[in-house]
Structure 1
Amino acid sequence: MAVLAVVGLAGCSDVSDVDRAQAQVSAKEKAAADAKAAQTAASEKFCESSKTYIEALDRYGDVLNQTAPTVGDVTDAGTDLARPREDAFDSAEAAVAAQQELENAEKELAEAHAALDRAMAGPSSLAVPAAAPEPTTTPLVPAATVDRVKQAESEFTAAEEAITDKTTLVDASQQFNSAAVALEFAWLRLFAEAGCLSDPQAVASASAYVTALQQDLAAAGYYTGEVDGVYGPQTVAAIEELQKASGLPVTGALDKATTAALDAKLLALGGAAAQQSTATTAALQQTLNLVGFWNGPVDGVWTPALTEALMAFQSELGVEPTGKVDAATISAFERELAELTQPKPTSEPSPKPSS
């Protein structure tokens, strides 16, 4: 109706410039409101489909963490991811398109308001159009977050393609599991930054340990990737290089001996590197404290008690109690921290006994 009003007014010679400009503002307000509604619907659809994909990735991780996963298990689980992945990407593209439509609508509305201001100011102001204010909309998520999802998808695809009928899954498990965990983490961050998570702090808490680990590995010269808090194949490869250089069993998982070797390397380097030699262990202590499995000091000292606390956490969450931090444990950290941030249902008050 607002558009028809604009057309109708345009054909009336006795209608003022102010009336025409006001009608144009009304039309653009309606268009902006419609664009906002469409953007909200698209965002909700993205949240729904990305949550489904994240849950599928989580189930995939559960398959990989079974006692004896087979190539068939991995193949079947990978097939089960195809549809949720497609839906998540389609809804992401739709949400981005809806966001762009909203930005365009708000820009046109701002221009219409500027034109109305000029019309109300009088004929002398019409000759010099004032610049319309820029719309205040922001991108759906930061570009860096989208790029990290694309990187994780690429790493995961490469890990899948590396598995053949002759692959020994035990040997490949750390690299492959870390690719799955990295993909889940990357989508969780996207999920949180798109406004789909009620408490984004859960993702930040889950990645704090990984960030400290990456920083320590980078300072020691073993990690060259981006310090992003996402436990992926590059992080595992850096741990393996550290273990090789230190004469330790190459597992790709962090335990007391590997942490001691990392600390020794940082202390030998001196300076800033030496100052953060206990950061990784302190971050592990803090993370275990958050999930209720460590009440000792957060001092960066890996003790037998810390190993016991880690094994207790792993047993409680159904992860093999190795006392080592691997992809499965990182995934369990994330799940447990996310659950801790969910609002607890309010219980109904008990009825009072009748007197």
Structure 2
Amino acid sequence: MREHFGRTLNAGGRIVIAAAAVAVLALAGCSGEVTDVDRAQAQVTAAEKAVTEAQSAMKAASDSFCTASRTYLQALDRYGDVFTQTTPTVGDVRKAGSDLAKPRDNALDGAEAAVAAQAELVAAQRELADARAALERAKAGPSGTPATSATPQPSATPLAPAATVDRVKTAESEFAAAQSAITDTTPLADASVQFNSAAVALEFSWLRLFVDAGCVPATQTEQAQAAVSAYVTTLQQDLAAAGYYTGAIDGVYGPQTAAAVEALQKESGLPVTGALDKATAAALQSKLLAVGGAAAQQDTATTAAVQQTLKLAGFWDGPVDGVWTPALTDALRSFQTKLGVEPTGAVDAATISALEKAIAQGKQATPTPTPSPSPTP
């Protein structure tokens, strides 16, 4: 149905151009003989008008998509807040999940409309290029040479990189799978790690699409995403080198990343939380050292990434040396407390989401200073 609708729009655009050209010719005929140049000029004038209208339609469709996407991101953000509560229930998850349906559909419809509007604009631009070329030929006459060379045909530029679109599709699929796994008998505490990671991955993926589609300028939102993505990318690379992660190195803390951390923890005899804490980081470093080679040379990269990311948030003033100390754990807990995340001292999907928000909003969540102890008498 949607393909048929798109074809109808294309046909309608050509009808409008032809009608406009006829109107121009009718006016030209009132003043004398209509020449080939007159006809060609009429086609150019009509095509220029069609391009202007298509540009307006494209802007309207893009604005609509950005508005719908922003609403969906806000809904996803509220959904993620369910997991920062101390006692989320299956009912909380389902209610919040049902609230996502309409914003998601609106965002997807908006994306489809923007793509269709872009195709219409490209088609109108091609019509204009052809009309201008025909005008040059008409001016040159039967035996002449057009004054200008052939005009390159416009081509459609994707609204967002294919990799960004594919990541959104993957995140939507992972999130749907996580939703379907929640039943009345599901121990939510056991499922929350995977479920939360799926929700955060979906929000991050849409945020990247939101930025790549030009809905926001290159502001702190993009910088924040890059900073957090750098940490997750490092973690994924280390997990892959240790043999625990086989997914894409995409900088998104999704279900596959959480599962890889869980596998490492299980094999190392640690509590299976899916979050990176001091003990898990040490276990990962040991695995990388056992692997040797290039992996052993980067065994401190993940911890260093934690330090660097917390430094960006204004929570770490120590060295970025890849050594996980009790002070780093305390800094992480302070950050989590300030942002309303459970202070576990471990990096999980909820913490990453809170960190991204803090940097994006330009708020350095500076810890509350601890009063200095009074001198001992």
TM-score (norm 2): 0.85
Count residues with an aligned counterpart.
Answer: 341
Question: What corresponds to 1:206 in structure 2?
Answer: 228
Q: Is residue 2:208 matched to residue 1:189?
A: yes
Query: Unaligned stretches of 5+ in structure 2?
Result: 1-18, 365-377
The corresponding residue for 1:48 is: 67
Tell me, which stretches of 5 or more residues in structure 1 are unaligned? Answer: 343-355
Structure 1 vs Structure 2 CA RMSD: 2.2
Query: Counterpart of 1:77 in structure 2: which amino acid?
Result: A
1:257 partnered with 2:305: no
Task: Identify which of 161, 173, 178 aligns with 1:142.
Answer: 161
Looking at structure 2, the residues matched to 341 and 272 of structure 1 have their Cα atoms a distance apart, in angstroms, of 37
Q: 2:100: which partner in 1? A: 81
Amino acid at match of 1:238: A
Q: TM-score, normalised by structure 1?
A: 0.90
For 1:239-270, what per-residue CA distance to the aligned partner results, in whole angstroms no more than 9, with x for missing partners? Answer: 11111222211111101111111112222222
Once residues 3 and 68 of structure 1 are traced to their aligned partners in structure 2, the CA distance between those partners, rounded to angstroms, is: 68
Distance 2:308 2:136 in 1: 57
Cα distance in 2 for partners of 1:166, 1:72 equals 11
The CA distance in 2 between the partners of 1:271 and 1:33, in whole Å, is 59
2:347 corresponds to which of 325, 330, 333: 325
Residue of structure 2 equivalent to 1:268? 290
Deviation of 1:287 (Å):
1.1
CA shift for structure 1 position 132: 4.1
Distance change in 2, residues 1:115/1:156 (3 Å): same
Q: Give the aligned partner of residue 11 of structure 2.
A: none
Contact 1:285/1:306 (8 A) holds in 2: yes
What amino acid is aligned across from residue 68 of structure 1 in structure 2?
T
SS at match of 2:361: helix
* Aligned mates of 1:142, 1:197 — CA distance in 2: 16
Equivalences for 1:1-355 in 2 at 5 Å?
A: 2-8=20-26, 14-124=33-143, 132-135=151-154, 137-198=156-217, 199=219, 200-340=222-362
Does the CA-based 8 Å contact 2:265-2:280 persist in structure 1?
yes
Higher mean Cα deviation, 85-94 or 277-286? 277-286
Partner deviation per Cα, 1:56-94 (whole Å, 9 max, x = no partner):
111011112210001110111011111111111111111
**Residues 119 and 125 of structure 1 are in contact (CA less than 8 Å); yes or no, is this contact kept in structure 2?**
no
* Letter aligned with residue 93 of structure 1: E
Is the CA contact 2:25–2:39 (under 8 Å) kept in the aligned structure 1?
Answer: no
Q: What is the DSSP-based 3-state SS (H/G/I as helix, E as strand, rest coil) of the residue aligned with 2:100?
A: helix
Report the counterpart of residue 10 of structure 2 in structure 1: none
Q: Conserved in 1, the CA contact under 8 Å of 2:307 and 2:316?
A: yes
Following superposition, the deviation at residue 18 of structure 1 comes to 2.5
